[in-house]
Amino acid sequence: MQKFTLLALFGVYAAALLPNPLMADVRLPQLVSDGMVLQRDTPVPVWGWADPGEAVRVEFRGERYTTEADAEGHWEVTLPPQGAGGPEQLVVEGNNRITLNDVLVGDIWLASGQSNMELPMGRTKTINRDEMARADFPEIRYFYVPDRYNFKAPEVDLDGGEWVAITPETVWDVAAVVYFFAKDLHQHTGVPIGVMNAALGGSPIEAWISEEGLKAFPHHLEEGKRFRDDDLIDEITLADQSRAAQWDEALERTDRGLRNGSFHWARSDYDHSDWDTIELPRFWSDPEEPVNGVWWLRKTIEVPDSWAGKPAFLNLGTMTDADATFLNGELVGRTWYQYPPRWYRLPEGVLKAGTNTLTVRLVSESGRPGFWEDKDYELEWQGESIDLTGEWHYRLGAQMPAKGGSTFIRWKPLGLYNGMIAPLHKVPFTGVIWYQGESNAGRYGEYAELFETLIEDWRGHWNNDELPFLFVQLANYMAAHEQPTDSHWARLREAQKQTLGVAHTGMAVAIDVGEWNDIHPLDKASVGERLALAARAIAYGEENLVYSGPLFKEARVRRNRIDISFEHTGGGLASCDGEPLQHFAIAGEDGEFVWAQARIRGDRIQVSNPEVRRPQMVRYAWADNPEGANLCNREGLPASPFRTDEQPVSER
């Protein structure tokens, strides 16, 4: 009996030395991790989870802070304001010990919006290759917030993500706007910069507003609440998947270019001499009744002997919609939707001396099929290139009805705020940068109110009424018009500009850095640097800094002309390119706009047209793509588009 008692006691003692499965380890949120940046000069919370009542100790910069987990297992300590610097260690200890390394103290910014805030540096490599090769900024840290939606409640943690220091190896995946913004601020402030990027391509603004904020927009709020029904989400998702799968299956089944599951028309020995020919790049089929389905396109190219077998680079611009590309019968690249550039690196051994056959299987899902103009189409190797524009052979493999779009549940109201913004609430920020609006251009009428609501909503959740909020006005996009016209994109830009009436906001004008044929323009350097200028003035209080281009102030009718005055003229009004001012339009009482002559006269612009004897209204850069608009200040910052249609015009 005594022997049993001693063994039992020994067992209890031994068990006490082992980890207790009933005692939970202290746990940190995804954001509080190695390489993180803590916001300087403000109290900073460090938080996490543990057993209810568990004692937790946090150590940082030689100081110790203690607390214990509440009844729900949540704990939090607040570090007093810290000066910029690092790297440091941050230690958290409860039943277990966590040591975070390489922690910096500096300024944190939140980036958000849609795809132009996501676009990575790798997509801009054709113009930023040298920049990327020297991108060595160990004190700039980037955290990409994983895509996630939740319509039921705000999330308290992220389901992934890590802090990454900027190096030539990591910069490829860093959002280009963020990179140039952070680089500029880091170089001007000399302190570490961290940016959390919570953006999602195609997302509308209402998806980023909380339930409290959306109460002012009942139609959006109710739409978001609909998707709290998991069965509804499953039903819609399955229906979308089924419809897409049926379309894809019918396409594959009826495509004459396929035979027994292989790409018959892509074979190098296939004879395409009886196919029709077409000059590329261009779009084809009737604009009113486009022919969707799958199109096959082939081109023979002559390659020098010195290129044979070499790992050349194939640049096929941009296509609508999806492609599979073959060289000499071998698949060398594939893209599943229209926006990305077709940059395909050819493996060694595929390219041969003499005649090579390039084949593109192009799937057109809706709208006109085609190769976009004003893009590069060439085969490159060691600085030499072979032009791929000109005559191609083409043939319809299978005709299909338009595929139809998906529901895109992730874009519905509430979801992205709850899934991607709410988990960041405890992090103090220096400010926010925002690039969004393309998805709301067709609903420009409500945008100004939604945007102001979003800013107030976020400031409320961060308990900071003066949180700097800097945003990008939409870039120029789509085909330019020969005559003055109205425009959804111009009206969305106007709604964005109205938001400057909210305190502590700034706007980067981008009508000079877009591309008519690409909704994702490559010049993100200008955008990031203009946002950084606004940050230096608004967030950092840098005085006497010209951070904005001219903004319309007042219009006065003077007999047969209208004089326009501006704010933010800097060193004076100027032509961006030294040429006469363009893209001013003028109208009389009939509202029929015609192009006007515009001249700089001191701090004003005089606008007139001899055919409009009693002018009443002026518009500037009022178009989807105001090509040629060239009003700047002498610091080179472009003027924002404007109209006086609904502005009071003084007569004199």
With left for phi above 0 and alpha for psi between -120 and 50, is residue 212 left, alpha or beta? alpha
Cα–Cα distance measured from residue 538 to residue 331, given in angstroms and rounded to the nearest whole number: 52
Distances in Å between the Cα of 380 and the Cα atoms of 266, 372, 443, 449 are 21, 19, 43, 49
For residues 299-319, one letter each, b for 16 or more C-beta atoms within 10 angstroms of the residue's C-beta and e for the rest, the string is beeebeeebeeeebebbbbbb
CATH superfamily of 28-226+416-548: SGNH hydrolase (3.40.50.1110)
Instruction: Find, among 639, 518, 539, 508, the residue nearest to 583 by Cα.
Output: 639
Instruction: Please report the pLDDT score of residue 647 as a whole number.
Output: 66
How many C-beta atoms lie closer than 10 Å to residue 333's C-beta? Answer: 17
pLDDT means per 10 residues, the chain with 652 residues, are 38 40 79 98 98 98 98 98 98 97 98 98 96 98 98 97 98 98 98 98 98 98 98 96 96 95 94 97 94 98 96 96 97 94 95 97 96 97 96 98 92 98 98 98 98 98 98 97 96 98 98 97 98 98 97 95 97 97 97 97 96 96 98 98 79 57
Is the CATH number 2.60.120.260 carried by domain 253-400? yes
Amino acid identity, residue 386?
A: I
**In degrees to the nearest 10, what's the CA dihedral of 120, 638, 109, 499?**
-120
Contact 118/201 with Cβ under 8 angstroms? Answer: yes
Cα–Cα distance measured from residue 284 to residue 261, given in angstroms and rounded to the nearest whole number: 27
Contact 510/473 with Cβ under 8 angstroms? Answer: yes
Contact 632/549 with Cβ under 8 angstroms? Answer: yes
Instruction: Please report the pLDDT score of residue 532 as a whole number.
Output: 98
Fold agreement between 28-226+416-548 and 253-400: no
Token digits of residue 236: 């819609």
How many C-beta atoms lie closer than 10 Å to residue 246's C-beta? Answer: 11
199: Cα within 13 Å, side-chain hemisphere: 28
- The domain spans of the chain are 28-226+416-548, 253-400, 551-651
Instruction: Find, among 134, 194, 120, 124, the residue nearest to 168 by Cα.
Output: 134
Instruction: Please report the pLDDT score of residue 409 as a whole number.
Output: 96
Q: In this structure, what are the phi and psi dihedrals at residue 166, rounded to the nearest 5 degrees?
A: -80, 120
Cα–Cα distance measured from residue 611 to residue 588, given in angstroms and rounded to the nearest whole number: 10
Cα–Cα distance measured from residue 83 to residue 86, given in angstroms and rounded to the nearest whole number: 9
Instruction: Please report the pLDDT score of residue 161 as a whole number.
Output: 97
Cα–Cα distance measured from residue 91 to residue 85, given in angstroms and rounded to the nearest whole number: 17
Residue with tokens 């799958």: 294
Contact 299/355 with Cβ under 8 angstroms? Answer: no
Contact 486/474 with Cβ under 8 angstroms? Answer: no
- Burial of residue 500 (CB within 10 Å: 0-12, 13-18, 19+) is middle
Q: What 3-state class would DSSP assign to 46?
A: strand
The residues, any chain, with a CB within 8 Å of residue 351's CB and separated by 6 or more, are: 303, 307, 308, 309, 310, 312, 327, 328
